[in-house]
Structure 1
Amino acid sequence: MSQFTYTANPSRVIFGSGTLSQIATEVSTQGFTAAMILCTPYQVDDARRIEHLLGAKASHIFSEATMHTPTSITEKALAIVENKKVDCLVSIGGGSTTGLGKAISIRTGIYHICIPTTYAGSEMTSILGQTSQGLKTTIKDPRVLPGTVIYDVDLTKTLPAGLSATSGINAIAHAAEALYAPDSNPIIRLIAREGIRALAEALPDIMKDQESHDARYKALYGAWLCGMCLGSTTMSLHHKLCHTLGGSFDLPHAETHTILLPHTLAYNCPAAPTLDAELAELLPGGYSSGIEGLNRLLDQLNVKRALKDFWFNEDDIDRAASIAMENQYANPRKVEREKICELLRRAWAGEPARVDG
């Protein structure tokens, strides 16, 4: 048995149905009096609901959270934080809103209560990705973690089936990379396996009935576990490519993860010899190959499989590969530029992933 180090996630987690109703108690218990509520322009109604629950303790709604966390938006929010003397942040939404809450929190030390409405998993990580001048960079710091995370299954029932699918595959990506991360350990691998299995079972059921309580519960549970994996291990090639395409080419976050995941896992299979069989065991369908099982799962979810569907041009593959070769993330297989170009070409074209030697 090899030695390993496991660091537990210190966030306080409230999980269940109707748990949003506990937000006022949570803010009061922590002793806060001026909470700024963060959301995207599309989730103002959710923010107003929180404002109503908080009453006088709600200071301001900032509704400009944006994909890939541009530093210009963070700076705009920081000016309001100072002006309103905010002592608590409440973010509601997916990765964009969570990212903004993290960006403000690490700069100010203000306590962050996060209420996820997707399966992005960012709320469980000490990682903050930010975009400035067309480049996305990441930092990893324990201070980035939200202090409290409130998971309310009811909030996910209105998440459209298509977005549920891509958000859920995004979460699976967090756990899949933890299976071969250089700093993984038996505890995280157990959590990763459970998270992947839960989401892979739940997502097809959500496509059939997006308001299924059982499927939504299992998916949110799986997303929580997958987020813990990302927050506990080192990111690899998959996340490097997603950060490259998101930060430098403005591709949508969850959809990019969904398209790239089978290709990046297939790339690493030769250097992670148990990966394909392990995925096959976790994914539904009884396939002998995990990569084939993942291909079929994405087909079943009816998600877009080609980067060209999101205005990524074939001529950009070379530039994307060059960016991905810089400041590489730890990866089990050597990252070779020619092979990365081919990986991106397959993803651009929407071809099924396959394992090459």
Structure 2
Amino acid sequence: MTQFTYDGLPGRVVFGAGAARTQLLTELDLLGARRVLLIATDAENGTATQLCAPFADRVVATFSEVRPHVPAEVAELARKIALDADADVVLSVGGGSTTGTAKIVALTTGLPVLAVPTTYAGSEVTPVWGLTERGRKTTGTDRRVLPKTVVYDPELTLTLPVELSVASGLNAVAHCVEAFWAPRRSPVSSAVAEDGIRHLVNGLTTIASTPTGLASRGELLLGAYLAGSAFAVAGSGLHHKICHVLGGAFDLPHAHTHAIVLPYVLAYNAPNAGEAVGRISRALGRVDIVDGLRELGGAVGVPAGLRELGMDESGVDDVIDDILAIAPADNPTRVTAEGLRAILHGAWAGSHPVGPTA
């Protein structure tokens, strides 16, 4: 008999086109929320303000100084605003950085989070938080940061540019891929991950031809939800360890970094992860899963290498030790300094991914 532990996470999910326009007030009432701290970037502020119109009198403060990887000074400012406003709920409208900022507020204040994602980050259904200080990104897990409610509305992603949509979608694919070999993997999380890849691929292969099609956007958003759910219970693997260190050290864009690095980690692990490769291949509909993932991004202009994001090649050696210190002991292929250097140099240059050397 197969034996496993599956630690299901609590949370309410409302999914559907137009749900953000019609359901937010009801969801706030269910949380008993009367004093809302709204977190949204300047770019998302117009959308967020429209969504809040039915309960504008409850919005007691707005925080818009969101930054990628949640710098410590941003976190401190957001916490102060929440406390000064005597908020009783945090409403985040935006992508992963916005959700991440709301989580950091929740971590120290205990306030519930209602998340309305506008990208395919998936962090809205995980208890993982991240904070960057002096170029080092620290992550942790705490159920206090897990949003109480998530409202998924494909309409809110219609204006997300195709290239960024694909990068964000590939980030979600990375969540699924790692769920197959993450520390707390189980048959349940693997099944969710495989179905997540299937929905994400459906969206990724049609988004370029139908960028404003709700069907494609809905597939991507559903896939992102499943991806985040699988990642939340299975845990973090080598790919995410690498990307978190790179993001904190060089302030690289989150989704693009994950999209670029994923094929290289997959090529490194594939020789020792046969079952995972088979399931990923089945979900992708491709025999060569490494080339398949690279083609999904390359077709719409996702950068091939980290150097196109502004990272210097010298940075590769700067982060090897930091990644080694947190690399999973049970990674399918043993993690070595030489192996990491090969992954990072390949990802920096955008060269064809190759497997580990003997």
TM score, norm. by length of structure 2: 0.96
- Runs of at least 5 residues in structure 1 that lack an aligned partner in the other structure: none
User: Which residue identity is paired with 2:276?
Assistant: L
State how far apart, in whole Å, the 2-side matches of 1:92 and 1:336 are: 40
Do the aligned partners of residues 29 and 302 (structure 1) sit closer, same or farther apart at CA in structure 2, a change above 3 Å counting? same
**TM superposition shift of 1:102:** 0.5
Distance in 1 between residues matched to 2:353 and 2:276, nearest whole Å: 15
Q: Does 1:96 align with 2:93?
A: no
The question of 1:247 aligning with 2:248 is answered yes
Give the AA of the match of 1:45.
G
What's 1:306 paired with? Answer: 305
Does 2:347 match 1:344?
no
Task: Supply the distance in 1 between the matched residues of 2:63 and 2:280 (Cα, whole angstroms).
Answer: 41
How far off its partner does 1:43 sit?
1.1
Contact between 2:183 and 2:236, CA under 8 Å: does it hold in 1?
no
Contact 1:168 1:199 in 2 (8 A): yes
Letter matched to residue 295 of structure 1: R
Aligned match of 1:115: 116
Structure 2 segments unaligned to the other structure (5+ residues): none
Identify the residue that residue 78 of structure 2 maps to in structure 1: 77
Match of 1:319 in 2: 318
Q: Which 10-residue stretch deviates more, 327-336 or 193-202? A: 327-336
Distance 1:229 1:46 in 2: 29
1:166-181 alignment, distance < 5 Å: 166-181=167-182
Matched positions, count = 355
CA apart distance, 1:271: 2.1
Please report how far the alpha carbon of residue 8 of structure 1 lies from its aligned counterpart in structure 2 after TM superposition: 1.7
The DSSP-based 3-state class of the residue aligned with 1:25 is helix
The answer (yes or no) to whether the contact 1:280–1:291 under 8 Å persists in 2 is: no
Stretch deviating more after TM superposition (39-48 or 323-332): 323-332
Corresponding letter in the other structure for 1:354: V
Compute the RMSD of aligned alpha carbons. Answer: 1.3
Q: Which amino acid aligns with 2:275?
A: T
Contact 1:181–1:332 (CA under 8 A) maintained in structure 2: no
Report the CA distance between 1:332 and its aligned residue. 2.2
CA distance in 1, matches of 2:122, 2:80: 28
Task: Write out per-residue CA displacement over residues 324-355 of structure 1, whole angstroms, 9 at most, x where no aligned residue.
Answer: 11232342221100111111111111112233
In the other structure, the counterpart of 1:195 is 196
**1:22 offset after TM fit, Å?**
1.1
The alignment's TM-score, normalised by the length of structure 1, stands at 0.96
- Which whole-Å deviations, capped at 9, do the CAs of 1:274-299 have from their partners, x for residues lacking one? 23332221114xx3222232233233
Instruction: State yes or no: 1:283 paired with 2:284.
Output: yes
Identify the residue that residue 16 of structure 2 maps to in structure 1: 16
Q: Match for residue 7 of structure 1?
A: 7
Q: Contact 1:17–1:152 at 8 Å: present in 2 too?
A: yes
Instruction: Please give the alpha-carbon distance, in whole angstroms, between the structure 2 residues aligned to 1:108 and 1:299.
Output: 42
Report the CA distance shift for 1:172/1:295 in structure 2 as closer, same or farther (over 3 A).
same
SS at match of 1:207: coil
Q: Match of 2:354?
A: 354
Letter of the 2:312 counterpart: N
Is residue 2:4 matched to residue 1:36? no
2: CA distance between counterparts of 1:255 and 1:282? 22
Residue equivalent to 2:55: 54
Where 1:155 maps in the other structure, the secondary structure is helix
1:101 CA drift (Å): 0.6
Secondary structure of the residue that 2:207 maps to in structure 1? helix
1:135 is aligned to: 136
Distance 1:81 1:182, change over 3 A: closer
Alpha-carbon separation, structure 2, partners of 1:162 and 1:292: 18
SS of aligned partner of 2:178:
helix
> Is the 8 Å Cα contact of residues 204 and 296 (structure 2) preserved in structure 1?
no
SS in 1 for 2:229: helix
Distance in 2 (CA, whole Å) between partners of 1:162 and 1:352 is: 21
Q: Which moved more, 1:325-334 or 1:16-25?
A: 325-334
CA contact (8 A) 1:203 1:301 kept: no
Amino acid at match of 1:281: R
Moved over 4 A (4+): none
Change in Cα spacing, 1:329 to 1:356, as seen in structure 2 (3 Å) is: closer
Aligned partners of 1:111 and 1:146 also within 8 Å? yes
Amino acid at match of 2:2: S
Distance 2:247 2:45 in 1: 25
Report the Cα distance in structure 2 between the residues aligned to 1:182 and 1:78, rounded to whole angstroms.
32
